[in-house]
């Protein structure tokens, strides 16, 4: 990956590569879940603890092959009776349902091992060699394969279902007699077959599921494939996606029926979109809840709550801790942080609201600033129900505007405005007669003023 970040911690569609692998494995409801880590073990181990705390981490100090990795697990935890499934941390497209089908086929056939295979062009993957009758013979790694074997289009995914007891016995007999001098897990398949045990295969219905990620190009391809899968699922569940090519939705997002997602929209994290809501175009929502029938247009919303039938945007920024009640409105070029906007209240234009409570039905005029920071601490402002804050007002926190109170446009409010009062905090206007002629003689402004004065004199 050419990165400071371990490969399996690169992200797509709301999870790391490892997170997707753990989610798929978790769908089997395993009695034990073990993650083998090597490179970047501290970071990878922390991800495992955060995502699947019940999983056991086993360290592979030397990366000596897939068979060696499995041997490390058995040496660490002992023989695992029952079925052991082996999968990989860099295959984010692998579905839990496919692993379930693999296990079911394995049980029904009574195999010692069942290999998940796929047909297609998978450079670097081992090939499935079969006899003239189509029966499984062996797996040959690409490095060790003949030209004829490399031409085989059925490939080994690297995922298996094993009989745990037989696996523990066979893994001890794996050698490093191969091109890479590593312990191949594929050799366990040959050992079990040589011992007379039954070996089977299951062909993946979707060959793309076994695709691994080894560089940024493959990561981008997997991201697109997984996103398309997510979008298809939501559209089939009654969500309208206007432009799938520019819409990105994490696997952790929830969307209600009849919602509409516009172009150039990203829904990330634990975002929840209610029924009938319209999001986009041009939105980024991260860990945000949107109520039924709300509308969000050209907005960035992070860790915010948007109530039913509320409207946001265009070009609004809702930061963490912001909550809009039902029918509230936040308009163009408005930023809110740790702000609560009551039912039906409006913050229409060019305003910053920080650390504030705005009551039901209140109106905040254009250009208002909630001056919440005094250089040391953040302070709170309260605007009462049906209050009216005039345009270009500065509310210097901590301060309260009472229910039904008004502030005059252009005021700097530092003290409480009681309920029903008008707060005025600005200098009285004074016009200096003839100022332009005296101070800008010969200018265009002076000439224009003189023409008006001459006309008035006539």
State how far the alpha carbon of 347 is from the alpha carbons of 85, 179, 329, 350, 352, in Å: 56, 69, 6, 9, 9
State how far the alpha carbon of 41 is from the alpha carbons of 19, 76, 131, 248, in Å: 15, 16, 42, 30
Q: How far is 291 from 326, CA to CA, in rounded Å? A: 8
How is residue 385 written in tokens? 């129900």
Q: Which residue do the tokens 């880590």 mark?
A: 37
Burial 159-189 (b: 16+ CB within 10 A, else e): bbbbbeebbbebbeebeeeeeeebbbbbbbb
How is residue 164 written in tokens? 């745990």
Q: State yes or no: is 333 an active-site residue.
A: no
Neighbouring CB atoms inside 10 A of 125's CB total 21
From the candidates 197, 349, 380, 386, which is the catalytic residue?
349
Angle at 409 between CA 405 and CA 412, to 5 degrees: 85
Chain-centroid distance of CA 18 in Å reads 14
Q: How far is 137 from 128, CA to CA, in rounded Å? A: 8
Q: How far is 400 from 302, CA to CA, in rounded Å? A: 27
Closest to 19 measured CA to CA, from 303, 255, 233, 226: 226
Q: How far is 86 from 104, CA to CA, in rounded Å? A: 15
State how far the alpha carbon of 327 is from the alpha carbons of 291, 307, 311, 357, in Å: 10, 7, 7, 16
Backbone dihedral angles phi then psi of residue 41, each to the nearest 5 degrees:
-60, -35
Q: How far is 196 from 113, CA to CA, in rounded Å? A: 12
How is residue 190 written in tokens? 């040959």
The answer to whether 213 and 94 have CB atoms below 8 angstroms apart is no
How is residue 23 written in tokens? 């989610």
Q: In the chain, count H helices and then E strands.
A: 10, 36
Residues noted as catalytic: 349
């Amino acid at each position: 990956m050419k990165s400071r970040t371990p490969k399996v911690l690169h992200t797509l569609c709301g999870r790391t590569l490892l997170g997707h692998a753990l989610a798929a494995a978790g769908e089997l409801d395993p009695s034990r879940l073990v993650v083998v880590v090597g490179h970047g073990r501290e970071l990878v181990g922390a991800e495992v603890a955060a995502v699947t705390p019940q999983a056991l981490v086993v360290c592979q100090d030397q990366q000596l092959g897939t068979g060696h990795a499995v041997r490390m697990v058995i040496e660490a935890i002992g023989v695992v009776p029952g079925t052991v499934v082996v999968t990989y941390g860099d295959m984010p497209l692998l579905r839990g349902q496919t692993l379930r089908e693999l296990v079911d086929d394995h049980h029904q056939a009574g195999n010692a091992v069942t290999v998940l295979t796929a047909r297609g062009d998978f450079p670097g993957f081992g090939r499935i060699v079969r006899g003239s009758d189509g029966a499984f013979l062996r797996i040959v790694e690409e490095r060790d394969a003949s030209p004829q074997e490399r031409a085989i289009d059925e490939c080994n995914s690297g995922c298996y279902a094993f009989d745990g007891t037989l696996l523990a016995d066979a893994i001890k007999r794996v050698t490093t007699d191969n091109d890479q001098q590593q312990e191949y897990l594929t050799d366990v398949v040959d050992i079990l077959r040589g011992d007379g045990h039954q070996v089977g295969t299951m062909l993946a219905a979707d060959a793309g599921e076994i695709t691994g990620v080894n560089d940024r190009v493959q990561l981008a391809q997997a991201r697109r494939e997984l996103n398309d899968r997510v979008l298809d699922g939501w559209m089939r569940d009654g969500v309208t996606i206007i432009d799938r090519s520019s819409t990105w939705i994490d696997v952790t997002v929830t969307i209600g029926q009849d919602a509409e997602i516009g172009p150039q929209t990203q829904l990330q994290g634990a975002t929840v979109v209610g029924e009938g809501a319209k999001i986009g175009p041009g939105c980024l929502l991260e860990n945000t809840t949107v109520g039924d029938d709300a509308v969000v247009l050209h907005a960035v919303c992070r860790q915010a709550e948007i109530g039913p039938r509320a409207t946001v945007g265009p070009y609004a920024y809702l930061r963490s801790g912001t909550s809009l009640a039902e029918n509230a409105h936040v308009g163009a070029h408005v930023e809110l942080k740790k702000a609560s906007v009551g039912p039906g209240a409006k913050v229409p234009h060019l305003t910053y609201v920080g650390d504030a409570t705005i009551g039901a039905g209140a109106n905040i005029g254009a250009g208002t600033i909630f001056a919440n920071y005094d250089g040391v601490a953040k302070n709170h402002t309260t605007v009462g129900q049906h209050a009216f804050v005039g345009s270009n007002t500065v509310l210097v926190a901590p301060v309260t505007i009472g229910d039904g109170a008004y502030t005059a446009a252009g005021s700097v409010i530092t003290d409480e405005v009681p309920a029903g009062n008008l707060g005025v905090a600005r200098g009285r206007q004074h016009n200096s007669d003839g100022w332009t002629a005296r101070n800008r003689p010969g200018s265009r402004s002076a000439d224009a003023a003189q023409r008006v004065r001459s006309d008035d004199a006539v």
